[in-house]
Amino acid sequence: MKNARIRLVAVSIFLTALACAPEHRGNTFTEPPPPKGASVLTTLGVSVPGTVVVGQSTTATVTGADQFGTTIATGPVVWSTLSAAVATVNGNGVVTAVAPGQTQVVATANGLSAQAAVTVVQVPVATVGVTPVTFSLVVGTTQQLTAVTRDAASNVLTGRIVTWAASDQSKATVDANGLVTAVAAGTTNITATSEGKTGAAQVVVTSSCTSANALQLGVGGMHTLTATEKAFLCLGGGASASEYALIPFNSTNVAASTTQIQITGTNTSGIQPGSLFSIQTNRMTGLRQNKRPLVKSFEWSFRERERRDLASAFASVRRLPRPTSAPLGPRFLTNIPASPTVGTVVQINGNLSGNACTAPKVLRGATVIAVLNKTIVLSDVTSPAGGYTNQEMIDFGTAFDTLGYGLDTLNFGTPTDIDANGHVAILFTPSVNSIPAPPGAVVGGLFAGRDLEPVGVCVASNEGEMFYMPVPDPNQTINGNYAVESEVASHVLPTLVHEFQHLINAGRRQFINNAPTAEEIWLNEGLSHIAEELLYYRMSGNTPGSNIDSVLIRSSQAQLDAANAYQVDNLVRAGLYMRAPETNSPFGQVDLLEMRGAIWQLLRYSADRKGGVETNTWKALVNSTTSGQANFNAVFGNIITNARDMAVAQVADDAGLGLAANFTNPSWNFRSVMPLLFPPYPLLTHTLLSAPVNITLYGGGAAYLRFGVAANTPAIISGNASGQAVPSAIDFILLRTQ
Amino acid sequence: MLLGILAPLMTAALGCTHPAPKPSVAIEADSLTGIVSITGTSFEQQLVLRSGNTATLLSAAPSDSAALSRLGGVEVLIVGRRDRNHLSVEHFTALSVAGVPVVDGVVRNYGDRIVLETTRGPLPLGNPPAGLRALTGARVWIGGPLNTGPNTYGMIVPAQ
């Protein structure tokens, strides 16, 4: 019995020894089967995805089986790799690829071990970008290309092997480092390949840039560059030196569309002193910029508040029954009697802060100062002391009644008369003074569209045709912006004709012409600035189309006074636009003074270009059922064509270049007038030399690059956009100026 | 508003007995595609969405109004609630500019790569113009091939 026990123990020891001597079977290790009946871990297996990209992780899994082949839990597992330089593994079996190579992931559990191979590969190249993408070379010259390899997430991949090739080596060759050498005239593609991915560039090889094959323009000659020429233009180099203006113009009809381009000159030079734009006029006392800028673009947050309710109100009013025949009858109750008595006080909502349409009424007593032929003059009883006298207000009203009213109705049409009183009311009120404005700026006055709406849909409406005008505040009880009466007074008549255009425009579109919406702001404001210009013509005795210059403006005190009183603001706004023509547009949607200057210039230019009876032109714009560019296009033709040609006129008009009428400003000699306000000339220009000129162009925007070309040495002009071809929407217009 | 709630319920009920119910008309009407324009005067402005011969007045929160006013001339998809004759804007997406499709998203700068975060995921910008790189954090629209450029772009919401 004892021997039997000893034998059993010996067998057990033997079996145990066998169990502790695992047998290697590939990536699994199997122990000898334990005694029947007990399930013991005998097999361990490891599984790992065979290939992992550097920087990425994967999870290894381990499985165990007993002597019966049944899967069982392995118990605690210890993980390791044979080369941590290639891949690491943490306690949870998460394998992280470190560097390209191969290694083994090892799992140990319950005395058993197993391992699996892991191959780490580098991040694959997904794209190859080549810059510049398009370029031109003269035979014998070179261009270094750059290839950037990126992964699928656009991360730059460094250290990748890139192979360069030229599709037609008879035109250009490329070396192993991407240096392209032009061989012969023609076009070929250069490719850069890495890990099977290819990027490409195109090179246009020209035979050479010599005087013989260069573009030659006479003085005043103009040329619109082709797509190829925008990338490479060989220019000039004739027997005499020449000077040029290159005008990139963004012909996209969306002002906010921004495109960036880069232009480089080779063998170009600066312009000579005394040439175009460098003319110094004899400066003397002349036009003056108003000390306080007239602000008709209100504080941004204020406008945001307006937008919500006015939209709602307009929609509601559009559903009201419209008159089917003239004359218009009264539609609403009104706060202004049809025949008010001078000296009586009427109640007017003077709340111009907050939301114009739905803000609660703040009724203010308004004394009837005068009842004129077409105008009622009202004075807010809360006006600060020391302001306008009654006679001064009557004089303002009379000037509008006898001049402004007729001027605007002649050019824009008869206003509505929703209150059936046959009058337009002018309320002089400190409510305007209280409108937020930048320090030192003034609001010249305003027309509120709410007043054309019934109170049923626009509770703040005064239900009648009226304007709001600021009052002098010499004691600065509200703010310091309106302290000087003469400054405040100087804006009254121009502002009234400006606002009257808005009133006529809004009323006629809404109630007479059944336009689906109000006019777009840029065109609406442009028309009101035209109204100011028309007032200037009336007051000065000058006429459109007479190429008004500084000599005429300074020919008499009366001429100078008229320009200072009625036109200088238009000229200042135009000057501001000329200072930044690249990032402003005549049809800009953001209401800026620069946009105002641009659209005034464009409307004037386009009216001159169109010709015919000018009053018909303005009436056509105001009495349209379309709006914005559609309205403009119907009256003047394509707005892009007009804006592009006007952009040329900015540099070419009155420069003695003898260009066609489309490139002139018949009414104004800006080259002569602008130096009085912005000496020597406000137009923003760049000098194009060898250093690249980077330009940001808005839709409708234009840039001006000036350069000279020496005699017998042609220059090369090349443009690109982010290293690629200049988009077709960007026109390059070249003008020889000397 | 009431129609907007009831119509989907009615559609669901009809779906029990009729196959393939059509989408709710009310829901379709609350999504409009058109070109934004800003009308009125400087003092009083209205946002309008033009689609063919139809003009729909928009009302929006001030922040959205400011963003939409930067999209004048841009084709957008607006989702909102129709209230009588105007659409109350809830959110919007720029679709195209001058007939060219654009992508609407927020510019993100991750080291050497610029990404446009869109509602459909991040889109890497392979060769953005320098001006766009400077708009990190801003919501913009971008036209042109995103991988290679050149790209046109426009501001929608400046970086906060």
pLDDT by residue (tens digit) across A664-688? 999 999 999 998 888 889 999 999 9
* Residue A318, both tokens: 């559009």
Residue A136 and residue A269 in one domain: no
Amino acid at residue number A325: S
Whether chain B has a CB inside 8 Å of the CB on A312: the answer is yes
For A542, the token pair is 């000058």
A310 shares a domain with A448: yes
Q: A518 vs B148: CB contact, 8 Å cut-off?
A: no
The reply to whether residue B42 touches residue A521, judged by beta carbons under 8 angstroms, is: yes
A394 shares a domain with A507: yes
Of the CA atoms within 13 Å of residue A576, those in its CB half-sphere come to: 18
Token pair in block for residue A417: 């008369």
The ipTM (two decimal places) reads: 0.83
Nearest CA in chain B to A150: B126
CB A715 within 8 A of CB A271: no
Tokens of B84: 């009588």
Does A380 lie at the interface with B, CB-CB under 8 angstroms?
Answer: no
The CATH number covering residue A56 comes to 2.60.40.1080
Contact (CB<8Å) B43/A356: yes
* C-alpha closest to that of A314 among A446, A449, A424, A448: A449
Same domain membership, residue A718 and residue A601: no
Can you give the pLDDT at residue A97?
Answer: 93
Q: Which residues contact A648 (CB under 8 A, 6 or more apart)?
A: A222, A247, A659, A663, A733, A735
Chain B contacts in chain A segment 410-469 (CB below 8 A): 446-450
Residues A270 and A375 in one domain: no
**Percentage above 90 pLDDT, chain A:** 62
Q: Look at B126 and A154 and tell me if their CB atoms are within 8 Å.
A: yes
Domain boundary among A679, A697, A722: A679
**End-of-domain residue from the set A449, A483, A511:** A511
What whole-number percentage of chain A has pLDDT above 70? 86
- Residue A11 in any domain: the answer is no
CB contact under 8 A, A255 and B48: no
* Whether the Cβ atoms of residue A496 and residue A465 lie closer than 8 Å to each other: no
CA B148 – CA A83 distance, rounded (Å): 40
Interface probe with A: pick from B46, B85, B142, most Cβ of A within 10 Å = B46
Q: Hey, which residues does B82 pair with through a beta bridge?
A: B87
Average pLDDT, chain B: 81
Asked if residue A5 belongs to a domain, the reply is no
Of the CA atoms within 13 Å of residue B132, those in its CB half-sphere come to 33
Chain-chain contact of A156 with B150 (C-beta, under 8 angstroms): no
8 Å CB contact of A517 and B143:
no
Q: Are residues A442 and A473 in the same domain?
A: yes
Pairing mode, if any, of strands A57-59 and A77-81? unpaired
A512 CB-side CA count, 13 A? 21
pTM for the model: 0.77
Q: Exposed e or buried b for every residue in A265-285, given b needs 16+ CB within 10 A?
A: bbbbbebeeeebbeeebeeee
The token duo for A31 is 């122990």
Query: What pLDDT does A286 receive?
Result: 52
Co-location of A344 and A451 in the same domain: yes
Q: Which residue ranges in chain B fall short of pLDDT 50?
A: 1-28
Mutate one of A150, A197, A312, A585 to test the B interface: name it (highest B CB count within 10 A).
A312
What is the per-residue DSSP string for A122-162? PPPP-EEEEESSEEEEETT-EEE-EEEEE-TT--EE-S---
Same structural domain, A637 and A588: yes
Both A443 and A504 in one domain: the answer is: yes
Is B40–A154 a contact, with Cβ atoms under 8 angstroms apart? Answer: no
| Angle made by CA atoms A712, A716, A719, in degrees to the nearest 5 | 160
Looking at the DSSP bridge assignments, the partners of residue A166 are A190
CA B102 to chain centre: 11
Q: Given CB atoms, is A158 within the 8 Å cutoff of chain B?
A: no
Query: Which site among B152, B156, B157 would you substitute to test the A interface, given the most A Cβ atoms closer than 10 Å to its Cβ?
Result: B152
CA B97, chain centre distance (Å)? 12
Structural domain including A643 reads 519-679
Alpha-carbon distance A81 to A95, whole Å? 9
**pLDDT recorded at residue A314:** 38
Q: What's the angle, vertex CA A428, arms to CA A424 and CA A434, rounded to 5?
A: 125
Label the pairing between strands B45-51 and A363-371: unpaired
* Number of domains within chain A: 5
**Residues A466, A329 share a domain:** yes
Report which secondary-structure segment, H or E, holds B81: strand B74-83
**Contact yes or no for A310 and B45 at CB 8 A:** yes
- For A519, the closest of B39, B47, B86 (CB atoms) is B39
In a domain, A584, yes or no: yes
Decide: helix, strand or coil at residue A115. strand
Residue of A257, A260, A725 with shortest CB distance to B98: A257
Residue A6 forms part of a structural domain: no
CA nearest to A700, candidates A108, A263, A252: A252
* Domain C-terminal end among A655, A679, A703: A679
- The CA–CA distances, whole Å, from B78 to A289, B117, B140 equal 44, 19, 16
Q: Is A594 on the interface with B (CB under 8 A)?
A: no
- Considering only CB atoms, which chain B residues are within 8 Å of A312? 57, 59, 86
What backbone torsions phi and psi does residue A233 show, to the nearest 5 degrees?
A: -130, 125
Give A679→chain B minimum CA distance, Å: 30
CA distance B36 to chain A (A): 10
pLDDT for A455: 85
* Domain shared by A177 and A272, yes or no: no
User: Do A363 and A507 fall into the same domain?
Assistant: yes
Regions in chain A scoring below 70 on pLDDT: 1-37, 273-335, 354-355, 438-440
Q: Phi first, then psi: what are they for A230, rounded to 5°?
A: -65, -30
In chain A, which residues have their Cβ closer than 8 Å to the Cβ of B43? 296, 298, 303, 306, 356, 446-449
- Shortest alpha-carbon distance between residue A451 and chain B (Å): 11
Q: β-strands A197-206, A186-194: how paired? A: antiparallel
In a domain, A215, yes or no: no
